C-alpha cells in the first residue's frame, strides 16, 4: 500500500507488557488500522515496541494502485528512519548489547526474588517476569546464532541486474500520483522492444541515491555505471537542430546530450508551443536512455534464463529444431551470442522459430561469426524492410581507401591471435562518416561493406556513432529500391 493518500500513526508499548501489546493491536485493528511495521527501540529506562499503523484516508477510496511502489511516500521515509542495522557486524553488536542488558534485568529480578520480605503474590509476579525475561534471552541467543551463521552471508549475495538511480530532486518522477511517471514509461518501453525486436528487458529497479548531484540520474547494469546525466521536471527537451529559428533565453538550459552528442535545450513547459516538434519530458528522456542502454548492453543484460525462454518458445512449435541443434551443433552460449548480436543491431528475433530453422540449416558453419552472417542473410528481407522509408533505402559506401585500412585491421599477430586496431584510425573513420552525414542531413546512417568485415565495422564504429547501421552488400535485396548517396 504505497500511496500518499494514507494516514499513519505511531504507538509505543513496553516490550515486557505482553497484554498491553495485544490490547493495542486488537484496538487498532478494530479501528481499521493495519500494522505496517514494529521496531524495538531502547529508551532511558526500558525497551519499547514502536508500532507504525496505517490506513487509507477516510475521505479517499482505496484503489487498485495502492500496491504500486512510490518511494516518495511517507512509508519509504519511515523505512529509512527505522531501518535495521546496515551490516551483519552492526546487527551482531546490537544483539550482543541486548543480551548483556537482558542478563542485567534477569540478575536484578533474581536479586529481588532472594528478598525475605516478598508476599506470595509478589513472588509469583517476579517468577512470571523471570520466565518471560529468560524466554527473551533465549530468543536473543538464537538471533545471535543466526546472525553469525555463514548462511546469513550467503543469503545477502544477490544482484539487481538493471538499476536506475535517481537524485532526491527527481524522485517525483516515479510517483504514482503523476500522470507522466517512470513506472508506466518502463512498461511502454518493455512493450515496444518486445513488439519491435522480440526482446524483453528485465525488471528495472529504481532507487534514491545520495551520491548523485542535483537532478541527476544514472543507469547501472550489474552494478557498473554505464550512463549518467541530468533531467529537469517541468521542462521539455528539444534537440537544437529541430528548433530552427528558436532563440535560446535565460530560463532555458542548454546541454550536450549524452545519448546522441547533439545540443539539447530544456525549455520551461509553459513556453512550449503546440505546433512545435514533439519534445521529451524528463520521464521520456530517462525512458529513451533506458531503451538505448537496453539495446547497447544486451549482451550483458540477456542471461541464460532469457535464452531458455526463447528455446521454450521453439519447443512449443517444433521441438525437433531444439533437439537437433542444442547442444551438438551449437551451445547455449553460441545461441546467446547470436541472439544478442542480432538485437544489438536492432534485428528482430520475434520470429524465433524461423531463426532456429536457419540455425539448423547453417549449423555446420565453422565460427559463430559465420553463422551470424548466414542468419542475417536469411533475415535480410526483414532487415531492409524495417530500414526502408517508402520503399527506398539510402545507403553510403566506403571508399577503397577506408576499406583497405579496415582490412588492415585484420592482420593478426600469429602469437597472440588478436586483431590490432589503432584508436586514432577508428576515430578518423568515424569523423569522416559524421561529417558526411551532417552535410547530407542524415540522422541514421546506413553503410554497406563487404560481408567479411561487416560485423567488425559495426562493433568498432558503433561506439562513436549512435544509430549506425552496417549492412553487407549481399543483404541488399532487390525488393527494395536501393539508393547510393555517396562514398566516404
Cis peptide before 327 (omega within 30 of 0): yes
Please tell me whether residues 435 and 469 are part of one structural domain: yes
CATH number of the domain enclosing 254: 3.40.30.60
Do 212 and 286 have their domain in common? Answer: yes
Boundary-marking domain end, from 346, 378, 410: 378
Given a contact cutoff of 8 angstroms between Cβ atoms, the answer to whether 325 and 438 are in contact is: no
137 phi/psi in degrees, rounded to 5: -65, -40
* Domain presence at residue 1: no
Classify residue 43: in a domain, yes or no: yes
Residue 61: inside a domain: yes
Quick one: 231 and 295 in the same domain?
yes
Task: Establish if 18 belongs to a structural domain.
Answer: yes
Under a CB-based contact definition with an 8 Å cutoff, are residues 336 and 320 in contact? no
Answer yes or no: do 370 and 398 share one domain.
no
CA distance 322 to 357: 9
**295 and 310 both lie in a single domain:** no
Gap between the Cα atoms of 215 and 228, Å rounded: 11
One domain for residues 41 and 57 = yes
Q: What is the pLDDT along the chain (488 residues), one digit of tens a residue?
A: 334 466 778 888 888 788 888 888 888 888 888 888 887 776 656 678 888 888 886 654 444 333 334 444 444 444 544 455 557 788 888 889 989 989 998 999 998 888 888 888 888 888 888 898 899 899 889 888 888 888 777 766 777 899 999 999 999 999 877 778 899 999 999 999 999 999 999 999 999 998 999 999 999 999 999 999 999 999 999 999 888 889 999 999 999 999 998 999 999 999 999 889 899 999 999 999 999 999 999 999 999 999 999 999 999 999 999 999 998 889 999 999 999 999 999 999 999 999 999 999 998 777 888 999 999 999 999 999 999 988 899 999 999 888 888 887 766 444 455 566 777 888 889 999 999 998 988 888 999 999 999 998 999 899 889 889 999 999 998 778 899 999 98
Pairing outcome for strands 224-230 and 235-239: unpaired
Q: Does 369 share its domain with 406?
A: no
Q: Does residue 412 lie within any of the structural domains?
A: yes
Strand 34-42 relative to strand 469-472, pairing: unpaired
Q: Looking at the structure, do residues 172 and 292 belong to the same domain, yes or no? A: yes
* Whole-angstrom distance, CA of residue 12 vs CA of residue 49: 6
Residue 330 grid coordinates: 551449437
Does 83 reside within a domain?
no
Q: How many domains does the chain have?
A: 5
Is 322 in the same domain as 230?
no
Look at residue 77 and tell me if it is in a domain: no
H or E element, residue 2: none
Residue 416 belongs to a domain with what CATH number?
Answer: 3.40.50.12790
176 shares a domain with 248: yes
Indicate which CATH number applies to the domain containing 327.
Answer: 1.10.8
Its pTM stands at 0.72
Domain boundary among 264, 280, 299: 299
Indicate if 477 and 425 belong to the same structural domain.
Answer: yes
Closest CA to 196 of 386, 42, 384: 386
Range of the domain at 245: 162-299
d(CA 395, CA 325): 36
Same structural domain for residues 173 and 120? Answer: no
Last residue of a domain, one of 72, 104, 125: 72
For the chain, helix (H) and strand (E) counts, in that order, are 16, 14
65 belongs to a structural domain: yes
Amino acid at each position: 500500500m504505497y500511496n500518499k493518500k494514507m494516514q499513519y500513526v505511531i504507538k509505543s508499548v513496553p516490550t515486557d507488557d505482553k497484554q498491553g501489546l495485544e490490547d493495542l493491536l486488537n484496538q487498532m485493528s478494530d479501528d481499521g488500522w493495519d500494522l505496517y511495521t514494529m521496531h524495538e527501540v531502547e529508551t532511558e529506562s526500558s525497551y519499547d515496541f514502536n508500532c507504525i499503523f496505517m490506513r487509507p484516508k477516510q475521505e479517499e477510496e482505496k484503489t487498485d494502485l495502492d500496491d504500486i511502489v512510490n518511494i516518495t511516500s511517507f512509508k519509504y521515509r519511515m523505512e529509512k528512519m527505522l531501518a535495521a542495522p546496515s551490516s551483519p557486524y552492526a546487527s551482531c553488536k546490537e544483539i550482543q548489547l541486548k543480551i548483556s542488558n537482558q542478563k542485567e534485568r534477569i540478575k536484578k529480578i533474581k536479586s529481588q526474588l532472594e528478598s525475605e520480605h516478598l508476599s506470595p503474590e509478589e513472588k509469583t509476579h517476579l517468577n512470571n517476569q523471570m520466565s518471560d525475561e529468560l524466554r527473551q534471552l533465549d530468543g536473543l541467543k538464537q538471533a545471535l546464532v543466526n546472525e553469525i551463521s555463514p548462511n546469513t552471508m550467503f543469503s545477502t549475495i544477490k544482484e539487481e541486474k538493471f538499476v536506475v538511480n535517481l537524485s532526491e530532486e527527481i524522485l517525483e518522477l516515479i510517483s504514482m500520483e503523476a500522470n507522466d511517471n517512470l513506472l508506466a514509461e518502463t512498461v511502454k518501453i518493455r512493450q515496444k522492444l518486445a513488439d519491435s525486436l522480440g526482446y524483453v528487458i528485465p525488471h528495472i529497479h529504481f532507487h534514491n541515491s545520495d551520491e548523485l548531484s542535483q537532478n541527476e540520474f544514472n543507469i547501472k547494469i550489474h552494478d557498473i555505471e554505464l550512463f549518467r546525466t541530468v533531467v529537469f521536471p517541468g521542462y521539455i527537451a528539444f534537440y537544437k537542430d529541430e528548433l530552427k529559428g528558436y532563440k535560446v533565453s535565460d530560463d532555458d538550459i542548454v546541454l550536450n546530450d549524452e545519448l546522441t552528442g547533439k545540443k539539447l535545450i530544456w525549455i520551461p513547459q509553459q513556453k512550449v508551443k503546440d505546433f512545435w516538434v514533439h519534445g521529451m519530458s524528463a520521464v521520456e528522456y530517462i525512458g529513451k536512455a533506458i531503451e538505448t542502454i537496453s539495446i547497447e548492453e544486451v549482451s550483458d543484460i540477456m542471461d541464460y534464463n532469457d535464452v531458455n525462454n526463447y528455446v521454450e518458445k521453439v519447443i512449443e512449435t517444433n521441438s525437433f529444431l531444439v533437439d537437433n541443434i542444442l547442444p551438438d551443433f551449437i551451445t547455449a552460449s553460441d545461441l546467446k551470442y547470436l541472439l544478442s548480436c542480432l538485437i544489438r543491431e536492432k534485428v528482430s528475433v520475434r520470429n524465433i522459430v524461423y531463426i532456429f530453422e536457419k540455425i539448423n540449416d547453417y549449423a555446420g558453419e565453422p565460427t559463430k561469426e559465420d553463422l551470424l552472417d548466414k542468419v542475417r542473410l536469411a533475415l535480410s528481407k526483414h532487415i531492409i524492410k524495417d530500414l526502408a522509408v517508402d520503399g527506398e533505402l539510402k545507403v553510403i559506401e566506403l571508399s577503397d581507401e577506408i576499406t583497405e585500412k579496415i582490412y588492415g585491421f585484420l592482420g593478426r599477430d600469429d602469437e597472440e591471435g588478436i586483431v590490432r586496431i589503432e584508436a586514432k584510425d577508428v576515430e578518423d573513420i568515424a569523423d569522416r562518416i559524421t561529417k558526411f552525414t551532417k552535410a547530407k542531413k542524415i540522422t541514421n546512417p546506413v553503410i554497406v561493406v563487404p560481408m567479411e568485415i561487416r560485423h567488425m565495422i559495426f562493433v568498432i564504429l558503433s561506439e562513436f556513432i549512435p544509430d549506425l547501421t552496417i549492412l553487407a552488400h549481399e543483404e541488399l535485396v532487390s525488393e527494395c529500391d536501393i539508393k547510393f548517396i555517396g562514398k566516404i
